[in-house]
Amino acid sequence: MSTANRPYPVVRDLIESFASWLKHRRELNELLQLDRADFDRIASDLRIAPDDLEELVRHGRHAADELPKMLEQLGISAEGLGRAQPLLLRDMERVCALCRHKAQCDRDLVDGSAAENYHGYCANASTLESLDRADLAPS
Each residue of 75-109: pLDDT tens digit? 999 999 999 999 999 999 999 999 999 999 999 99
> How big, in percent rounded to 5, are the helix, strand and coil portions of the chain?
75, 0, 25
Residue ranges for the chain with pLDDT beneath 70: 1-7, 132-139
CA geometry: angle 36, 97, 100, nearest 5 deg: 105
- C-alpha 75/C-alpha 85 separation (Å) is 16
**CB contact at 8 A, 102 and 66:** yes
pLDDT of amino acid 57: 76
**Alpha-carbon Rg for the chain in angstroms:** 19
Helix orientation angle between 50-59 and 36-45, rounded to the nearest 10 degrees = 90
pLDDT of amino acid 16: 77
0.85 surpassed by pTM: no
Question: Residue 62 class from Cβ within 10 Å (0-12 exposed, 13-18 middle, 19+ buried)?
Answer: exposed
